[in-house]
Structure 1
Amino acid sequence: MLSCKLDNLLSSLKEYDATAHQLERKVCALASKVSRRPLNNSVPTDPRWDDEGFDTWAESSRLQFLRVDFIRSLHVTRKRFPAAQNVPLHAMHVGAPPADVQIFLCLHVWLGGDDHPDPGGHHLADLVTYLDNAKAGDADLVLFSFSAFPHRGWTAEPGKYVKPDSGVQGSKKRGDRWYDDRTDAQLEQKKRAESEWHRLTMYSPIQVIVLHRIPEGAARTEPLQSRAWLRMELTLSTYCQRVVNANDPEVKALAQPDALNDPIGKIRKDIEEGILKDDSKRVETEIFPTFRKSLRSLTLVIEDSVGFAAFCNAAGLLGFAFLSFANG
C-alpha cells in the first residue's frame, strides 16, 4: 500500500514539474512581448536591413536570446550552454528584441556529439573573451542556435539529454524508428526559426562573432570553412561589415577577395575539390536560393549599384559580378 502511494506521489510530482516548466515558458513569452522592440517604430535604422521583417520573424518563431550576464555566469561557474528547452526565465529574452540592446550572433562549428555543440566550454570561453573585448553590457543579447530554438533529445526529461532513438514516451516515430521527442509546438517553433535564419546576418543591430577555434580532443574537428552554410553566413556578415573579430587570421582567411567576389562560384569549386563536405544538391537547392534572397534584401546594393560598385572597386572586389549573382 505504501509503495503504491509513493509511486502515485512520484508520478504527481513529475506531472507538476512538467506543468511548471511549461508555465515558465509561457510566462517568459508573455514577458518578452512587454519589453520587445515595437514593430514599425519611429527609430531611424539603416535602410539596408529589414528590421521590421526581423522583428516579425523573431516574434513568430519565439526566438530565444541569451543575456550576456548569464553567459558570463556560465563561464565563471564552468557550466555549458543550455539547450533551448532548459534556458532559465531570467537568462533570456524571447521574441523581437528591445531597441536599446546590442545583439551578437555566434557563427560556430559543432564540437561535440549529437547532444551538445560545445561540451568542453571552449566556444563559451572564446565568446566571453570577444564579448568583453567588444565591451558588451550585461543586458545585451546573444544568439547561440543551440539555445535559440528547441533541439532534439532535450524535451523528454528537462535538463537531461535522451537519445532521440530511445523510444521515450511522447517521441515521434518514422517507420519503425523513434526520431524526435519534441512536441508539435516545438517542432513548429524550430521550423519557423530555421525558415528565415538568414535574417540574422541581415539585421542592422547584430554583430557577428566567429567562434573558429577547434580544441584538441574535440569530437568533431571539421573547420568552419568546410561547411557551406557557415561560409554563406560569414560572407553575408562580411558584406555587411558586422564581424567583431574580423582581424583574426582564421576569419581573414575566409574573407579573401576571390571568395567575396564570387562566393557561389568559390563554393562550387570547393565542393568539387573536396574542401567543402556538403552535398552539392542540397547546396544548390537550399543554400544558394537563401543566399540570393538575402542579397536581394540589401536594397542599397540594388538601388545604388554605381555607389556599391565604387565601394567594391575600392575594396578590391568586382561589384557588378556581385550584382549578377545576387539576381540569380
Structure 2
Amino acid sequence: MPYEVRGVIARGKGEAVSLETVVVPDPGPGEAVVNVQACGVCHTDLHYREGGITDEFPFLLGHEAAGVVEAVGPGVTSVEPGDYVILNWRAVCGECRACLRGRPWYCFNTHNAAQKMTLADGTELSAALGIGAFVEKTLVAAGQCTKVDRRAEPAVAGLLGCGVMAGLGAALNTGNVTRGDSVAVIGCGGVGNAALLGASLAGAAKIIAIDVDDRKLEWARDFGATHTINSRTSDPVEAVRELTGGHGADVVIEAVGRPETYKQAFYARDLAGTVVLVGVPTPEMTLELPLLDVFGRGGSLKSSWYGDCLPTRDFPMLIDLYLQGRLNLDGFVSERIGLGDVEDAFAKMHRGDVLRSVVVL
C-alpha cells in the first residue's frame, strides 16, 4: 500500500514552500522507502525553490538526511528494513567508464528511484537531488542508502549527505591535504567550515579562514582555523602570502563559487600548489585568467563534486571518527526545527545566521 505522509513542497519559482500530503509508492526493484528522522536545510534546497537548478516544479525539497529503512523492493540486498542509513545523491552504477576505471566517486550514471512520488492529486514531484527528504518517508534507490553506526544522532549524521561531506572531501579527497600543509579556505559557511575541519583532521600545520563576516570567522576557529582574514578589510592574497612566508598556501579551497574569489584562490596558492573549487557557480558566471599565469604557476586546478566522496567508504569512516570525538560534526547544527519551519530556515540561512538548521521528525 502506498504511504501518505507530509512533505515540504516548492510549487513555483520564489514562492514560499508549503507543507502538503505526499504519496510515496511501495518500493519497486532496486528501491527503498526510508523513514526520515532528520534532514538539514541546505543552500541547494533554496536554489531549487528559486528555480536555479531546473524548472521542473513542483519540487519535494530536502536531501541531507538520515533515517531508518522501512521497506525494500525486489532484488535489494545492500540494505534491509531496520537499517540506519545516511542518504546520498551519488549511488554509483558500477558500470560507467568512471566506475570501470576504478574511480567510482566520478560515476557518470548515478541511480535514483525509478518511480515518482506524487501529490495527493497525482501530480508528479521532482525530488531534490533525487532524494526529497523534507518528508516523513521518502523513496530512493537502494544505493542511495549507506549504513552507518546508529549511535550517531540523525540530526548530525544526515549532514554528511551533502554540505559537510562536500567540504570535508574537498580537503581530504580532492585537495589531498597532508600533514604539515598550509591551507586557506575562502568562504566560511557550512561547506567552508567543513573544509577547515577536514584540513585539521589531515594534520595541516596552518589553516587560514577567509570571509567577509567576522561572525563566520569566529565560527571558523571552532573548526580548526589557526588564522582568520576578513577580506573586506584586508587583501586576502597578500594576507595569505604574509602568513606563509611570502609563498602562498599549499592548498586553497574556494567555497563561494564566484569568479572574483576563485581568482583570489588562484593567486593565494604557492607555486605548484592546488586550487579546489567546491563553491557552486551560477550558469552565467565566466572566469578570465592570463594563460601565462596558469602555465607559469603550475600545480593543479581542481573541481570537487560532492567532495569526490564514495559514500560506502567515507560515511562509515567519518561517523566512526565522530563517535571517537575526533570530528566536530555537532558544531554544524545551529538549531533543530520542524517540517513547518523550513521557510523561516531559508531566511536565516540567507542572512547568514546559521550554519545548518536541521529538520527533526
- State TM-score, norm by structure 2: 0.23
- Structure holding more strand per residue: 2
Which structure has the larger Rg over C-alpha atoms?
1
Between structures 1 and 2, the one with greater helix share: 1
Could you tell me the TM-score, scaled by structure 1's length?
Answer: 0.25
